Amino acid sequence: MKLKMTIGQDEYIATLIDSKAVEGFITQLPLKLTLQDYAGAEKISDLPARLSAEGSPPGTAASIGDLAYYAPWGNLAIFYKSSGYASGLIKLGSIEYNAKKLASYNKPIEALLEIVNE
């Protein structure tokens, strides 16, 4: 399944994985979020509702382009830099290209997330 994230004129396409967390994420779409920078490696935003961690590993490391859910805080994280292992981090999918450009947005940014037909 594909997710499109639109920020201004920029579009990012991500491939979502098959998991309980992703099933819950999809039910919240389409979604407008305000993304803020966190730790110089990712953009984060709270989600309207928590996602299930059922069947997910206890944590993971993040690669450039990963979309993830950070269960302890209930937020979406979109990585533009790789990050080490974090307990409670659940991968949802990966942006296919140009994820490093997310670092260029210095202020909080509005993003529209929606499912697209493949």
* CATH number where 27 lies: 2.40.100.20
Question: Cα Rg for the chain, rounded, in angstroms?
Answer: 13
Ramachandran bin of 79, using left for φ above 0, alpha for ψ from -120 to 50, beta for the remaining angles: beta
- CA dihedral 48→53→58→64, nearest 10 degrees, is -50
Q: How far apart are the first and last CA of the chain?
A: 7
Structure tokens at 40: 């110089």
Residue 6's identity, in one-letter code, is T
Residue indicated by tokens 């993040």: 62
pLDDT digits (tens, 9 = 90+) for 59-90: 999 999 999 999 999 999 999 999 999 999 99
Structure tokens at 95: 């942006």
- Rounded CA gap, 44 and 36, in Å? 5
Q: Is the pLDDT of residue 118 over 80?
A: no
Identify the domain containing residue 99 by its residue range: 2-116
- Rounded CA gap, 111 and 95, in Å? 14
Quickly state the pLDDT bin for 117 (edges 50, 70, 90).
confident
- Name the domain count of the chain: 1
Share of the chain above pLDDT 90, in %: 97
